Amino acid sequence: MGRAEGERAPARRYAIADAATLDSRVGSTPVEVPPPGGSAALDETLDRAATSTPSGGEVFHPGAWIGRYTILAKIGEGGMGAVFSAYDTELERRVAIKVLRPRASGDPLGHARMQREAQALARLSHPNVVQIHDVGWLGGQLFVAMEFVTGPTLRAWQREHDPRTSAGREAILAMYAQAGAGLAAAHARGLVHRDFKPDNVLVGDDGRARVLDFGLAAGTRVSAADEGEGGGASEGESGGGVRVRVAGLLDSDLTRTGSIMGTPAYMAPEQFLARRTDARADVFAFAAALYEALYAELPFAGETFAERQAEVIDGAVKPAPVGSAIPAWLRAVLLRGIERDPERRYPDIDALLAALADDPIARRRRRLRVAAALLVTTAVIVGVVIGGISLAQRWRAARAEAMAEERRLAVEARIDELLAAGAAAEAERAFQAYVTNPDNRGSAALARAWLSHGERARSREATDAALDAYASAYTVATASAEQIAAMVGLAELARDQLRWRGLVFAVEALEERFPEDLGRPEIRDLRLDAALARVDLEAAERILATADRGAGDDVRSVIAALRGAQHTPYTRCTNSAYRLRGRD
């Protein structure tokens, strides 16, 4: 054996074994691959491969050389071209090579655009974006070398996860969050996908989502419109069920009518109207794809291109399917994502992902669980210290409190869902059912339920309802924490409504019953406002003397103004003081 042959033997054995593995997956014939390095035999092979064309004019075929790549097997084919597995002899790794068909490569402007975007994408390194390694031309055909990924498309993956279950819904949201992170990374580089859909995302065997085809097909011409619901590139699958899919340019066609590009199932209105698009078109497509994953149907009706176009442009979103388990807050996020007006959508993918992660019901439950745990623990500790109550009685009291708090958490979450869905009357019925339940009587949870009710009423400026709720909370409260919160709520409500006598009354009650809490910032502010309402400047100055340094700077100018306005009528003076403090 000569020297060159001996040098090639180890790498040749590696390449044959590598190709044989591929053969078990896609049924191709193993191809012997020359090694990397500077051998004369390799250089001669590369030169010959770069200048030769096999019979029939086919440049790309198993065994052919494309620069430093040798073609192993064809593993996918579609309207735009073919996909090959190949071996990179310099970096000793398998890659995928996408080759555009001659008819798809006949657009010179498309050539330049595709090459430019492929080169830009090659400079983007992100775990949720398919890596582009190389782009070039051979035999008048554009090819792109890219990361080779095994695993299903996102569309195939999501079929295995039921959105009707919490676990399935959380898994879908988590996987789409990965895909969204890839989109956001590309947008940060100025790359807009223009054809995001579940078929353009791969879920690798490592569980990682990778987005592919960032605008790379947008410059190609297509002879027929794609009016399907997705489609995607072909997959190779062996008898053993191992899926092999290329991470690169999809071989599915894009719709192109004039300058309209995209897949109709996920296209934004501005794409249908052939208007200028930006990253918000990807926001629309992402939200539409996630809507489909969660509801098992697309958000817009229409069986033909024209029907779908009309529905999308009109913003005619279908109602949620009967019996859907998707929470109202999540539907609201999706609907904003597919707004027909780009200005009303989320401004970017990051904002959409943040909204998807911000589950208000889960957030409230976490906060209330922590508060409930602290309150129940405190109640148990206090109960142990206080004598005269048997251990069984203390246990029953703590358990009754815990159960009342658990029921409150459940009804609060239900009320949030109903209000988000616009069912205010049903939400009110759910609240009344809780506060009239005799099992909740005497619990701290009952007072907290009234406090929450007051906060909701106050947020929608229902003054009378808020007043009634805070008063009820104070009446049923069994501990000072809830009593203080209720009285503070009444005082703040009176102040907001410029009801000075009510404010003074509430503050005097706080000062009389809870003297040890007068230093709390919210109570100190209320006492200051009450003193100003009474034009009791000495009292206001005494309160200021107990405040932290700098805390009363905004009030001192008010006091100075009031000292020069002692003869101003009461109502006008107090209203002016309130305005001077900047509270209206």
Active site residues: 195
What are 76's strand-pairing partners?
Answer: 83
Q: Which amino acid is at 514?
A: F
Quickly count: other Cβ atoms within 10 Å of residue 240's Cβ: 7
The residues, any chain, with a CB within 8 Å of residue 189's CB and separated by 6 or more, are 120, 121, 123, 124
Of 488, 478, 448, which Cα lies nearest the Cα of 364?
448
Residues 315 and 530: their CA atoms lie apart, in Å, by 52
Of 247, 250, 255, which Cα lies nearest the Cα of 224?
255
- Encoded tokens for 512: 């009389």
8 Å CB contact between 570 and 533: no
Residues 222 and 254: their CA atoms lie apart, in Å, by 7
- DSSP character string of 334-371: HHHHT-SSGGGS-SSHHHHHHHHH--HHHHHHHHHHHH
Pairing mode of beta strands 260-262, 255-257 = antiparallel
- Residue 303, CA atoms < 13 Å, CB-side half-sphere: 0
8 Å CB contact between 200 and 214: no
Checking 487-494 for CB contacts under 8 A at 24+ apart, the result is: 487/513, 488/522, 488/523, 488/526, 489/451, 489/454, 489/455, 489/458, 491/526, 491/530, 492/522, 492/526, 493/458, 493/463, 493/466, 493/467
Q: Residue 298: helix, strand or coil by DSSP?
A: coil
Q: From residue 97, how far is each of 42, 74, 198, 285, 424 by CA, in Å?
A: 21, 9, 21, 27, 57
Quickly count: other Cβ atoms within 10 Å of residue 304's Cβ: 11
